[in-house]
Amino acid sequence: MPEFITIGEVPAVLVSKKIGRMRYNKEFEVRPGGAEGTVAVGVKRLGHSSGWISQLGEDEFGFYILSLIRGEGVDVSNVHMIPDRQTGIFFRERLPHGEARNFYYRTGSAFSQMGSESLDESYISSAKILHITGIAPALSKSCRKMIRSAVDIAKRHKVLVVFDLNMRTKLWSDEEAKPVMEELMISSDYILPGLEDLRLIYGEKWQEKDFTKYLHDLGCEKIILKLGKEGAMLSLPSGDEIISGYAIENPVDLMGAGDAFAAGFISGILKDMELKEAIDLANIVASLSIQLPGNIESLPTWDEIMKIKKGEKIVKR
């Protein structure tokens, strides 16, 4: 059984080949999307057994996603192909400086129909860490209940829960998201909010300290606040500390950087690192991931991380 498990939808992403308005782009390439798939592969590349729970449509996009994730060495024994349901898809419009804009077509997808009855308690209970995001509960009410059930299973069996908010305003409103997000944050052992996530839920006026105080008062203990190129803030009831990031001057693709961070942090926890060391590893993984195109395609291996930490150059030929 995998030591790490995640639950979520991995859609097929049709990415514009050129930078600019999507309406003028005539060519697209298919890539895997989805925060959970990125984290599953990221944790695997960093040296750990990894499993993914999901549903895909029994269609060509579904077979593409399943084959790709399985080919990366992730356990897909709890991924089910659903006849007469589509695999979720979205289009990605490429913008300058590695930015992008997404257009979702995920309503009624195979994963959005997933319910608590699809969960295998023995599979989740055998893991050390369960990773969830705020994307899955945004897709449907049945997904919301399913994620809540997965967290309950994990808590019963003392499986650590890592929750990455991944707020998506195109999938649900801040009013709808707030109570669900807060319930999941309170129930999780580690929460990994991005500053942008929190501002989308609570408003633009709050600063880092306002968020961490509010979340601690809510009942959250271990908060890792992602700050982009600045790194991350480790916030505990005893105080806050910034763990500096690794600035990249010309990022190629910023999409998936937060998920690469999550993979690095989770790997650090699985390696029994101290929290600050795990966050530093997360910062390294995130910085490497934005230097190449693609979410999964850009994720580094553990050997690459070790060479960089030792100051070695990666052999090119």
Residues with active-site annotation: 259
**Rounded Cα–Cα distance for residues 168 and 181 (Å):** 12
**Rounded Cα–Cα distance for residues 131 and 262 (Å):** 9
Sheet holding 4-7, edge to edge: 75-82, 50-57, 4-7, 129-133, 160-164, 190-191, 223-226, 231-236, 239-244
**Which residue pairs from 309-312 have beta carbons closer than 8 angstroms and sit at least 24 positions apart in sequence?**
309/284
**Rounded Cα–Cα distance for residues 61 and 112 (Å):** 16
In eight-state DSSP terms, residue 216 is: H
Task: Give alpha helix (H) positions in 72-140.
Answer: 121-125, 136-139
Question: Collapsing DSSP states into helix, strand and coil, what is residue 291?
Answer: coil
Q: Tokens 């929190």 sit at which residue? A: 198
Tell me which H or E stretch contains 220. Answer: none
Q: Which of 225, 162, 235 is nearest to 195 (CA)?
A: 225
**Rounded Cα–Cα distance for residues 89 and 135 (Å):** 14
**Rounded Cα–Cα distance for residues 134 and 241 (Å):** 25
**Rounded Cα–Cα distance for residues 162 and 169 (Å):** 21
Q: What is the CA radius of gyration of the chain?
A: 18
